[in-house]
Chains A and B, each alone.
Chain A
Amino acid sequence: MTGSYLRTYFLAKYITSNAPALAKLVTPLQGFMIETNGYRKMGLRYDDLIAEENPIVQKAINRLPPKEYYDRNFRIRRAHQLSLMHQLLPKDEYLSAEEDVRYLTPYILEVEAEMKEREYFDNMTVVKK
């Protein structure tokens, strides 16, 4: 589990900065994916979709500032309600691209890095010089 989110994140980073041709190919697809996915039409951010049923994301969620934490819960509850009612938000309340902030990712990366470090120290071998 540890490091998996980290790997995906850095793969995306690597592609955008080191493989411009590939990035050019993939970026238009991104808009299409988001559009068909439709999460913004239910008022959700991309980071709300990350599976939270694991210790890393749980810890990251607990580290959110209180306001962010509250807003996340609000968005998820609103989306649940919309899902129950088989409805989408009114068009003017769709989430815009600017509002779709990666608010949770930095915390997940931080927790993953911490766990990786702990794993490293738990499994290190001491070499005498």
Chain B
Amino acid sequence: MLVSSTSACFRRAASSSVRATTSRSIATAAADLGFETSTVDGIKIATKDIAGPITTLSFVIKAGSRYATVPGVAHALQRFAYKNTPKRSGLRLTRETELLGGSLTSVLTRDSIVLTARFLKDDLPYFFEALSDVFVQPTLARHELAEVVAPLLKLDAKLADADAAFVASEAINSAAYRKGLGLPLYAQATDSISIDNVRSYKDAVYTKSNVAIVASGTDISTLSDLVSTYLETAPAGTASTNASTFYGGELRIPSTAGNVLTFGIAAEPSPTFNVLASVLGGASSIKWSYGASLLGATAGKAYAKVTPYSGSSLLTVTATGSPAEIKSAGAAAVDALKTVATGVSSEILKKGIAGAKFEALSGLESTAGLASVGEILLGSGSVPAAAKIISEIESVTADSVKSLAEKILSEKVAAAAVGKVSELPYVDELGLKA
């Protein structure tokens, strides 16, 4: 019953959108990652037609905190997802989702707001329509901000404050970039956001040129038909842009949530970052073992990580534990960098490259991977082939890893210390410049 009504809807959609069909480019397949991409009505779409009963649909929108026109407005807009629209109330959407069986999530990152629905395959038309409705015409009522959204903003900020690692990552972003990527992810207690701010931000960022639609579990022609049926009325707009300059400096934030010391540098995205992070390592990949990477010697107290943003990557080394443990782990991390700066043996490089390849490709898998694929699609206009990602990482040489380590040791870094700041070391005490 449900299936037949679904296909009838598709036929109607296909016949009523002649203009959309002609403007659609030919779908191209990046076979190795499994995504087919296309552009419909100026909207970039990608889908992976995997077998299985569940479909995942993501709207990846370039509307993250780096583009916020008023501090905290991106967070407010993210929390406005799935609230009232002229077509249906937020309550109706929630109840109908419960009845059909499915889940709706919205995620805010520095780069984007990601609206994701997971549901049974047959319900794709309903959920596509619901998500486009949320994207195209949210009501954004003043009383919703006061009654529903503002308490959530406070809750998010409170929860985030209780997580020392998150506070440290916010602080190092602020030190590294100041504006743009340096803006806090969540609305702060000092921010005053009016509904007019949210409305004008929505008008600026919820546009065709800012959205990528990524799905798994459906085919490209079905998705194209739905896009041309439901998103034709979305405003075209212009793509958000935001420069990311690296500044550096040290921030120290007293907190009772725990102790964290983190330092690092940011630059244009380069596979060398990923390889160096993988060489330094520290994060355990097997239970009951800290691994044989350079930071494995700190027994899980320090690890290296690359956070990719569009236009910039942030390589950080983070130490956690008691202030004394952080002092020794921080010193060990600087020693590890010094070891790399004297030269990398081919075995270590090989291991680093293998780790970096796995990290890069596994980051494009699963539901969270859809958001990364969407961000890449918005940035470059195409989903990269796995072979290209692999060859880029494999082309990293021992010399480039060595000179990156030298750069971190000799140039100004961004750093943040969170916790008992009176006992935590300054990064210049560890032998770095801040």
* Contact (A121, B92) CB under 8 Å given A126-B99, A129-B1: yes
Per the bound structure, the CA–CA distance linking A63 and B99 in Å amounts to 31
Q: Which residues of A contact B9 (CB under 8 A)?
A: none
Per the bound structure, the CA–CA distance linking A33 and B95 in Å amounts to 45
Q: Which residues of A contact B1 (CB under 8 A)?
A: 129
Assess whether B99 is in contact with A118, with CB atoms less than 8 Å apart.
Answer: no
Q: Which residues of B contact A114 (CB under 8 A)?
A: 89, 91
Per the bound structure, the CA–CA distance linking A63 and B142 in Å amounts to 8
* Contact (A121, B95) CB under 8 Å given A114-B89, A129-B1: yes
Q: Is B143 an interface residue (CB 8 A)?
A: yes
Per the bound structure, the CA–CA distance linking A126 and B101 in Å amounts to 13
Q: Which residues of B contact A129 (CB under 8 A)?
A: 1-2
Number of interface residues of A (CB under 8 A): 10
Assess whether A117 is in contact with B99, with CB atoms less than 8 Å apart.
Answer: no
Assess whether A117 is in contact with B143, with CB atoms less than 8 Å apart.
Answer: no
What is the distance, in angstroms, from A28's C-beta to the closest C-beta of chain B? 38
Q: Which applies to chain B's interface (DSSP): helix, strand, loop or mixed? A: helix
Q: Which residues of B contact A118 (CB under 8 A)?
A: 91
Choose among A65, A118, A121, A124 the residue with the greatest number of B CB atoms under 10 Å from its CB.
A121
What is the distance, in angstroms, from A106's C-beta to the closest C-beta of chain B? 12
CB-contacts of A74-129 with B (<8 A): 114, 117-118, 121, 124, 126, 129
Per the bound structure, the CA–CA distance linking A63 and B1 in Å amounts to 44
Contact mask A50-63 → B, CB, 8 Å, 1/0? 00000000000011
Q: Which residues of B contact A65 (CB under 8 A)?
A: 142
* Contact (A63, B143) CB under 8 Å given A121-B95, A126-B99, A129-B1: yes
Q: Which residues of B contact A63 (CB under 8 A)?
A: 142-143, 146
Per the bound structure, the CA–CA distance linking A117 and B147 in Å amounts to 18
Residue in B closest to A65 when the chains form the complex, CB atoms: B142
Per the bound structure, the CA–CA distance linking A82 and B202 in Å amounts to 47
Per the bound structure, the CA–CA distance linking A114 and B83 in Å amounts to 13
CB-contacts of B1-39 with A (<8 A): 1-2
What is the distance, in angstroms, from B321's C-beta to the closest C-beta of chain A? 48
Per the bound structure, the CA–CA distance linking A69 and B57 in Å amounts to 43
Residue in B closest to A64 when the chains form the complex, CB atoms: B143
Q: Which residues of A contact B89 (CB under 8 A)?
A: 114, 117
Which B residues have a C-beta under 8 Å from some C-beta of A?
1-2, 89, 91-92, 95, 99, 142-143, 146-147
Q: List 20 A-B contacts (CB under 8 A).
A: A62-B143, A62-B146, A62-B147, A63-B142, A63-B143, A63-B146, A65-B142, A114-B89, A114-B91, A117-B89, A117-B91, A117-B92, A118-B91, A121-B91, A121-B92, A121-B95, A124-B95, A126-B99, A129-B1, A129-B2
- In the complex, the 4 A-B pairs of residues with the closest C-beta atoms, listed nearest first: A63-B143, A121-B95, A129-B1, A117-B91
Which A residues have a C-beta under 8 Å from some C-beta of B?
62-63, 65, 114, 117-118, 121, 124, 126, 129
